[in-house]
Amino acid sequence: MAKQWRGVLHEYADRLDVSAATPIISLGEGGTPLIPAPALSARTGAKVFIKYEGMNPTGSFKDRGMTMAISKAVEHGAQAVICASTGNTSASAAAYAAHAGITAAVLVPEGKISMGKLSQAVAHNGQLLQVQGNFDDCLDIARDLAANYPVHLVNSVNNDRIEGQKTAAYEVVEVLEDAPDFHILPVGNAGNYTAYSRGYTEELARGATTKMPRMFGFQASGSAPIVLGHVVKSPETLASAIRIGNPASWELALAAREQTNGYFGAIDDETILAAQRILSAEVGIFVEPASAISVAGLLERAEAGEIPKGAVVVLTVTGHGLKDPQWALRRADGSEVTPTSVPVDVPTIADVLGLVAGGLK
Ligand SMILES: *Cc1c(COP(=O)(O)O)cnc(C)c1O
């Protein structure tokens, strides 16, 4: 068979807790591109790269952790897994459980997850329940069920998830041949912030890098518990993947901020949408709103004079734009974008496009 990327457990077997006894459940996750973003470099004076996690099998970085969590669950004999989710974890858990031939039960906040993600969980035959509460309620219930019934918890409170996710930092280091100066990413439960910090720490320890990046994490203003320093009871933001009021990895994230001279900031929803638009229209990468907070965070920190010229900055964009496309069809004033309708007539269409006959534009 021709050489192809084999998924993170095969590629990094020497650095993960997998052995001959681990049945590797993989959909080929990881190996995502690190894409230079000249438009963002021009806006900030930094050297900006995008780690495009929307290129994973189910369209988000959750697959890196899920391959590990499901493989370990199957190794330990689990027949069923359970998770709480704002959408992407449920899509990923359902897909990997389907591949493994086991059951995935997923608890999502009713009416609060995007259609794309809901359809993925259903397509992969997940046992999807809409809970009449928020994400934090879902996670409490999932933990309770896993403690008292024969189901295996695959939320990021499960360390296997963090272990799988840290491989994204390995990949960044492989491409840059060092750690970046800054790494910016969205923060919900802070599992991914924790995972990257761990990955970079390991890379430094084994001499693959010369430094730790400063880790900058961003939450939406309406659900920014880490920034505010207290639980947010009813978190609100259109960035549904990070609508979390009581992050599961809060303590770990604070330790990682300390260790990396990091930073947590908050960004409002309109600024998130504007950043999503900049990334899709100027860089050519379409992400869901939660992911765009990395771009908004970069622009805000650069504006504040906190990103030196020439600094190497990596932004993780966590999920694909097609998961939650409705926001791209909305203008800043809230009105809907409707494509212009034209008759089947070349001169009319040329006119609408501003084309002049004979001339090369
Ligand atoms: C899960 C998720 C996040 C948040 O990651 P945490 O590890 O919970 O902080 C951000 N963006 C997307 C698209 C996600 O699916």
192 CA → ligand 1 middle, Å: 7
Task: Give the residue, out of 90, 138, 223, 242, with the most ligand 1 atoms within 8 A of its beta carbon, to mutate for a pocket test.
Answer: 242
89 CA → ligand 1 middle, Å: 9
pLDDT of residue 330: 87
Q: Which residues pair with 104 in a beta bridge?
A: 81
pLDDT of residue 360: 63
Q: What is the pLDDT of residues 216-264, one digit of tens each?
A: 999 999 999 999 999 999 999 999 999 999 999 999 999 999 999 999 9
Ligand 1 nearest-atom number relative to CA 323: 13
Taking the whole predicted model, whether its pTM rises above 0.85 is answered as: yes
What's the burial of 202, exposed, middle or buried (CB within 10 Å: 0-12/13-18/19+)?
middle
Question: Alpha-carbon distance 130 to 135, whole Å?
Answer: 10
93 CA → ligand 1 middle, Å: 14
Residue ranges of E strands in the chain = 34-36, 47-52, 80-84, 103-109, 127-131, 152-153, 182-186, 214-220, 263-267, 312-317
Question: Alpha-carbon distance 221 to 68, whole Å?
Answer: 32
Question: Alpha-carbon distance 223 to 187, whole Å?
Answer: 10
Task: Give the residue, out of 189, 238, 249, 317, with the most ligand 1 atoms within 8 A of its beta carbon, to mutate for a pocket test.
Answer: 189
Q: What is the pLDDT of residues 140-154, one digit of tens each?
A: 999 999 999 999 999
Running DSSP on this structure, what letter comes out for residue 252? H
88 CA → ligand 1 middle, Å: 8
Ligand 1 nearest-atom number relative to CA 88: 15
Question: Alpha-carbon distance 320 to 327, whole Å?
Answer: 13
Cβ pair 43, 299 in contact under 8 A: yes
Question: Alpha-carbon distance 248 to 254, whole Å?
Answer: 12
Ligand 1-lining residues (CB < 6 angstroms): 60, 62, 88, 156, 186-193, 241-242, 288, 290-291, 318-319
pLDDT along the chain (361 residues), means of 10: 90 97 97 98 98 98 98 97 96 98 96 93 97 95 96 94 98 98 98 98 98 98 98 96 96 97 98 97 98 98 98 98 92 87 97 86 54
pLDDT of residue 13: 97
Buried b / exposed e along 168-192 (16+ C-beta atoms within 10 A): bbbbbbeebebbbbbbbbbbbbbbb
Residue ranges of E strands in 91-247 = 103-109, 127-131, 152-153, 182-186, 214-220
Ligand 1 nearest-atom number relative to CA 195: 7
Buried b / exposed e along 11-37 (16+ C-beta atoms within 10 A): bbeebbebeeebebbbbebbbbebbeb
Picking from 260, 62, 86, the residue whose alpha carbon sits closest to that of residue 165 is: 62
